[in-house]
Amino acid sequence: MPTLAINGGDPIRTKPFPAWPVLDTADTKAFESIYNSRRWGVRGSNVAEFAKQFAEFQGANYGVCVNSGTTALYVALKTAGVGPDDEVITTPYTFQATIVAILMTHAKPVFVDTAPDSFLMDVTKIQDAITDKTKAILPVHIAGYPADLDALVDIAERHNLKLIEDCAQAHGAEWRGKGVGSWGHFGCFSFQTSKNLCAGEGGIVLTNDRELYERLYALHNCGRTPPDAEFGNIEPFGSNFRMTEWQAAILLSRLKRLEDETNYRHMNMRWLDGWFGEIPGIRVTRLDPRATRCGSHGYKAIFDSEEFEGISRKTFLDAIRAEGIPMGYWYTTPMYRASFLKSNLFGQDFDYSNVHCPETEKICQTGLALSQNILLGTEEDMEDIIKATVKIRRNVGELKDG
Ligand SMILES: Cc1ncc(COP(=O)(O)O)c(C=O)c1O
C-alpha cells in the first residue's frame, strides 16, 4: 500500500494556507477616502505621511516614495553618482531587478559569491572585488534575512563606497535592533503585490542624509525641490518616478499591521527552524544572532539529496506538494548567467563567461522555499509542513526520480 500522496496515499492536508494579500476593511476605507478627496496625485498628503512613517518604522531619517522597487534602486544608484564605467559589487543570488537597476545606470555589476549554506553575500569576499572603478556595494537582504551590516558598513566606510541596501524583501527586518535600510547610505524597498507590505506596485528609498534626501527627491519628481528644502535647487534634472495617493493610503493602512505580522512570521520561521533542524536532509538557513528580526519574506532551507536516498530536489518537491504543502524554490540561475546580460540592452558589452560562484551555483540547485503568506499560518499549519517532510523521509523508498 503506498503511503505517500504522490503514489495514491492520503495527503497530510487539503486545506489551503492563508491567502495573500490579507484583506481588511480598513484598507477599503483608506482607498475610498482618496477617491472622495479628488486628490489622487501630487496635491494629497498620504505619500509624504507614508514616507515619514515608514522611514521611522525602519529607523531612518528620510524617505522618498517611488513607483517600484526597481525605481528605488535606480534612483538610489543615480543619487550615489553611479554611471558609465563604474562598478557596483552585488550578489548573484537575487531577483533580476537588482541587476537591471545597475545596468540602467550603465554601470557594471560585479558579482561576489554567497557564503556557504547561506543565501546572502559573502562579506569576506568583497575586499578582493574592489577596484578603482568600484562606486557602490549593493547587498540584498534575501527573503528578509539581513546581510552582515556590520561588515558592509565597515567596508563601505574604509573604501569610501556608497552602501545601497536592497530591502525589497526585508520590510521589518532588523540588525542589532535597528531596521535594515537605515544602515547604508540608501535602503530600497518594494511594495509590489507579493511583498510583506504591498500596494500592487510601489517603492521607497530611505536615507539618513539630508543632502542625499533632497537629491533623491528631485530625481524622482522632475527636478523639483522638497517643500522644506535646505539645499536649494540641488539636482535640477529628474523624471516622474512618483507614487500615487492610492498606493500611499493603502500602505499607511497596512503599515499599522506590519509590526504584528512581522513578529508572527518571525515566530513561525524560528519554530520551523527548530523542527527542520531535527530532520536530516533539511539544512536550516543560519540566522545570524545579530539579525534580531528577520523580515521573513518566505522561509528558506537547503535540501540534501544524500540524506533522502539520492532523490532529486524536484522529486522531493513533487512529493511534498502532493501532501498539500506548496513548497518550491526561488532562483535557479546565478545572475551572471542571466540571458539578459548578453542582450546588450543598455549598450554595455560585458563578458561573464569566467565568473563562477560555486556556493551560489549550489544553492540554486538545493534551495527550498515557502512563500511569506504560509508563515502567517497557524501552529497546526506549521506542524503539517513538518509532518509532510517527516513522512516523505520515512517513506523515501517509494520515490524515484522521473
Ligand atoms: C530583491 C529584489 N530587488 C528588487 C525588486 C524590484 O521590486 P519591484 O518589483 O517593485 O520593481 C524585487 C522585487 O521582486 C526583489 O525581490
Q: Which of 88, 169, 330, 331 to mutate to test the pocket of ligand 1 (most atoms within 8 A of CB)?
A: 169
Q: Residue 253: CB within 6 Å of ligand 1?
A: no
How many other C-beta atoms lie within 10 A of the C-beta of residue 38?
A: 8
Q: How far apart are CA 103 and CA 237, in angstroms?
A: 20
139 lines ligand 1 (CB under 6 A): no
Binding site membership of 91 for ligand 1 (Cβ less than 6 Å): no
Ligand 1 centroid vs 68 CA: distance in angstroms? 8
Beta-bridge partners for 204 = 65, 189
194 CA closest ligand 1 atom index: 14
Tell me if 244 CB under 6 Å of ligand 1: no
State in Å: Cα 177 to ligand 1 middle. Answer: 24
Where are the strands (E) in 244-349, listed by range? 282-284, 299-303
Res 1: pLDDT: 63
Q: What's 67's DSSP letter?
A: S
Task: Please state the pTM of the whole predicted model.
Answer: 0.98
Return the C-alpha cell found at 356.
563562477
Question: Along the chain (402 residues), what's the average pLDDT of each consecutive run of 10 residues?
Answer: 91 97 96 96 94 98 98 98 97 98 96 95 98 98 98 98 98 98 98 98 98 97 94 89 98 98 98 97 95 98 97 98 97 95 82 96 98 98 98 97 86
- Residue 349 confidence (pLDDT): 83
The C-alpha atoms of residue 43 and residue 25 are separated, in whole angstroms, by 25
Task: List, in sequence order, every residue forming a beta bridge with 188; answer none if it has no partner.
Answer: 166, 205
Cα 81–chain centre separation: 24
Q: How far is the CA of 294 from the centre of ligand 1 (A)?
A: 18
| Ligand 1 pocket, residue 169 CB under 6 Å | yes
Give me the pLDDT at residue 60, please. 98
User: What does the pLDDT read at residue 234?
Assistant: 87
The strand pairing partners of 165, in sequence order, are 187
Q: pLDDT at position 342, please? A: 83
Query: What domains lie within the chain, and their CATH numbers?
Result: 25-113+120-254 (3.40.640.10), 257-398 (3.90.1150.10)
CB 67 less than 6 A from any atom of ligand 1: no
